[in-house]
Structure 1
Amino acid sequence: MQRKPFLIVLSIHIRLQADMLPCLGPSSSAAKANSYTSPATSLGYSVNNTPISSALTSPTGYLTREYTLVVNGPSYGEIWNVIHPNSDSEHNVELEQVDFYEDPEFLWQVLQPSHSHVEEALSLIIPDAFTKLIASYFEHSENTSRMCLFLYQSVHRARLLYIPLYNLLDVLSPDIGNGSHFINQSQCDWAFNVFLQYDSLTNPLPPSDSHNFDDIQGCFSELRQELDQHLHKSHIKSHVSNGSALSLVAAGLGAAMSSVMVASRALVSLASPVCPKCMPSKVTKEEVTHLSHLDAAAKGTYVLHHYLETIDRLVTRLYSAIESDKLLIRLGLERGRDIYPIQEIIRQLRKTLPNFLNQLTDLEEHICLCFATINRARKLLLDEIYFQGMREP
């Protein structure tokens, strides 16, 4: 029978889509596609941002706290409003028009402090090994932001790709294909044309071998080695306890992009704030501030590493889901304007599309989180540069 190949592909499609469900567990997104809502409550925080659980020394609790600090800061909401498409104009935009990630001016609307501010700050201090490493962090954080902006554009293109499918399902009866409701030939022709348009467009998300952060991770691994060597030679290390922020930076800057999992003892160190009472008596208030800046920046880089890993997994799964949809639709198109395969495609898309859209929103949120976390670390490091500049004669 001719239905057999279609049913085989249909079963494969169902399995592939089911694989997406455990990707991140329950969706962290309470926000809909066209509005920003803080998702902090889904991570164990009350409406007034008070932690429901006080177990913040665990890695999960630490990530939750840092997540909430970023999400409820002004940077996250501002970034969301800048890069999230306007719902009124989204339906009228062609895929080819979505190219904002290549605009340098657009990058500096979401990435702060700007390149010019960083260059100005770096010019105020005498270059040494440590400040050069900080400068390298600024450079690589810009590259990471460009990659995230490219991925965000890909998400926007994916939404545009699925708008005709969403509109089709919105009009047709949700009971189609259950044995009592069937599409007529006019609806079949409409669906066929929508599927034909979908099939003619390429997958907007990049495959796993083109979007990963391996190059950036390699750069930060080298930075970690250089920073470790620098700290071994540093006199500061002999005056500050092993739990200080400088030790955290050694782990944090490398862990931000390194693919090597951070050891559990390092997580405990990262979760512990700088304690002024643990400092030698000669450490001044300014030096405590200096250590706090580096401590917070190091923690931010660890959280950034977590977000990048999540983004990597989400992009891979969403790319596979689109390829699965394309395979299903292409096989149905090969059958012509036959009502049965078109109806089965509609039935399957109705099952899988809501989860797919939720995954897109999760990816959008994590990209915004990356931007906000990068901005927070960049600001703290810029403050550190100014602090060093004021100390120099």
Structure 2
Amino acid sequence: MRIDFSLFRDCKNQVRRGRRCEVVAPIAASSFDLTEEYASAFRTESYHEFWAQVLDHELEHGAALKLPISARRGKSVGGFLAENLLSPDQTTVSKILGHLKPGSLWLETRALLTDYYAGTADASLLFGLLFQEIDRTRRRFRPLKAAVHSLLSGSRPSRDALRAVGDYVSKSGDARFDPFGVSQSKFQSVRERSVSLLDRLESGRKKARAKRQRLRRIKRAAASVCVVVFVASASIVVACVPIHAVVAAAALPGLVSAGVGRGGRSARRLDRGIAQLDAAARGAYILNRDLDTISRLVARLRDEAEHARRLLRLCKWGGGDEEEGGGGRWMTEEVVQQAVRSVGSFSRQLDELEEHLYLCFMTINKARKLVMQEILFAN
């Protein structure tokens, strides 16, 4: 089922005009509408807050608001996304983790949470790089798209249109065209670190749970010892031992209870650490799934770009200008139509990738906030 991504752009435009998003995608009671589920994510309060921040950023930095939204959005957000919209930002995270009360976090938990925030910040930087490459690809394809459409506008294609197609084919060369080649090494590095982070978070969570189980067993054993000691003390009192023995016997349960109380504080600290690792592991898991989806979308874009390039090579003016004797070789209408469809499909897939990147960035922010809430609640 194909999702209509124009729903999201309409919703975003309403946010820019200061209105609430009222996009309606009907859903039958007996069926699941994926388009409605995706559209509902763009009606949330966090989405409106996110785009309010984007718009404020554009106004603050003097963005050219008369440009098309697609071009303006990539250009103004791409380079500053991680620095201006990451929440909480890395500076705030470092200050909070550095000023926590001593002993409020296990050292291993603190290290894992630090790595989690660093990993999600790296992912946001990667998304910013992808936004820049999307904008660069759009600007490269914009004249080509107009030229390809003009091939069908008359009985003969214009020389400017053919020249634009020829220039594009010549620049792309015989090698496989990759619109996201710059970000691929960075993407692979972020992806590998994200997988490693999730493994370490899950391992740390298992260790914390195992330690919590051991503390529970120790607490139950200590409680049993306390009962035995108390009963023994009572028996000694009944046997009329000297008064100093009675005092010692009465003090024994209190000493055991104090030990149990210290174990209880450790258990509570472990519980808070487990909750923090749970939140971080969920965020890392979602990030991994998002990176997998982005990888598939980018691979699909590469294939579509290569398909479009090959069709455009067929559409290229065979012998150059008529004066040079090459005017008799015309491309067939079917090939031109396929080229138009391929370029249009590439443009739509570019929009879909961009929309998914925004969703991923919002998800990263939400997960970072949830983890920080757990940290602050524990302190």
Give the TM-score of the pair, scaled to structure 2. Answer: 0.61
| 1:241-390 alignment runs, 5 A limit | 299-333=282-316, 335-337=318-320, 338=327, 340-341=330-331, 346-389=336-379
Out of 164, 167, 170, the position equivalent to 1:194 is 164
Aligned to 1:134: 113
Indicate which of 147, 163, 182 corresponds to 2:155.
182
1:120 aligned residue (73, 87, 95): 95
Relative to structure 1, is the Cα distance of residues 157 and 67 closer, same or farther in structure 2, using a 3 angstrom cutoff?
A: same
Q: 1:77 pairs with 31, 51, 64, which one?
A: 51
Tell me: CA distance 1:196–1:146, structure 2 relative to 1, closer, same or farther (3 Å).
same
Higher relative CO (Cα under 8 Å, sequence separation at least 6) belongs to 1
What TM-score do you get using the length of structure 1 for normalisation? 0.59
Cα deviation 1:317-347 (Å, max 9, x = unaligned)? 1012112222332454483335523866532
The Cα offsets for residues 95-123 of structure 1, whole Å up to 9 and x where unpaired, read as: xx96985x5x5522121111111011102
Rounded to whole Å, the distance in 2 between the matches of 1:155 and 1:296 is 31
Q: 1-side partners of 2:10 and 2:50: how far apart?
A: 16
Contact 1:70/1:373 (<8 A) preserved:
no
1:99-155 CA-to-partner distances (Å, cap 9, x unmatched) read 985x5x552212111111101110222352223212211010011111111112121
d(CA) in 2 for partners of 1:364, 1:296: 26
In the alignment, the residues of structure 2 paired with residue 315 and residue 50 of structure 1 have an alpha-carbon distance, to the nearest angstrom, of 30
Match of 2:85 among 97, 102, 110: 110
Residue 150 of structure 1 pairs with residue 129 of structure 2: yes
Matched ranges for 1:11-50 at <5 A: 25-31=1-7, 36=12
Distance 2:310 2:348 in 1: 21
Matched, 1:204 2:179: yes
> What SS is found at the alignment partner of 2:363?
helix
Instruction: Give, as a single letter, the amino acid of the residue that structure 1 aligns with 2:366.
Output: R
In structure 2, do the counterparts of structure 1 residues 51 and 80 end up closer, same or farther at CA, with 3 Å as the change threshold?
farther
The secondary structure found in structure 1 opposite 2:12 is coil
Q: How many angstroms apart in 1 are the aligned matches of 2:161 and 2:360?
A: 38
When the two chains are superposed, the root-mean-square deviation of aligned CA atoms in Å is 4.7
Q: Which runs of 5+ in 1 are unaligned?
A: 1-24, 39-44, 240-286
Q: Within 1, Cα distance between the matches of 2:29 and 2:279?
A: 22
Structure 1 220/121 Cα, relative in aligned 2: closer, same or farther at 3 Å? same
Q: Which amino acid aligns with 1:329?
A: L
Segments of structure 2 that go 5 or more residues without pairing to the other structure are 15-20, 218-269, 321-326
Say if 2:211 is the partner of 1:233.
yes
The aligned amino acid for 1:324 is H
Q: 1:170 to 1:53 in 2, by over 3 A?
A: same
Per mean C-alpha deviation after superposition, the further-off stretch among 323-332 and 132-141 is 323-332
Q: What count of residue pairs does the alignment treat as equivalent?
A: 295
Q: Which has the higher helix share?
A: 2
Q: State how far apart, in whole Å, the 1-side matches of 2:271 and 2:43 are.
A: 21
**Residues 198 and 285 of structure 2 are in contact (CA less than 8 Å); yes or no, is this contact kept in structure 1?**
no
Report the CA distance between 1:355 and its aligned residue. Answer: 2.4
Tell me the alpha carbon deviations over residues 232-283 of structure 1, each in whole angstroms, 9 at most, x when there is no partner. Answer: 22369969xxxxxxxxxxxxxxxxxxxxxxxxxxxxxxxxxxxxxxxxxxxx
> What is the SS of the residue equivalent to 2:87?
coil
Whole-Å Cα distance in 1 between the matches of residues 39 and 9 of structure 2?
A: 25
Counterpart CA distance in 1 for 2:127 and 2:215 is 35
Task: Please say which of residues 73-82 and 324-333 is displaced more in the overlay.
Answer: 73-82
The Cα shift of 1:205 comes to 1.8
Bigger CA radius of gyration = 2
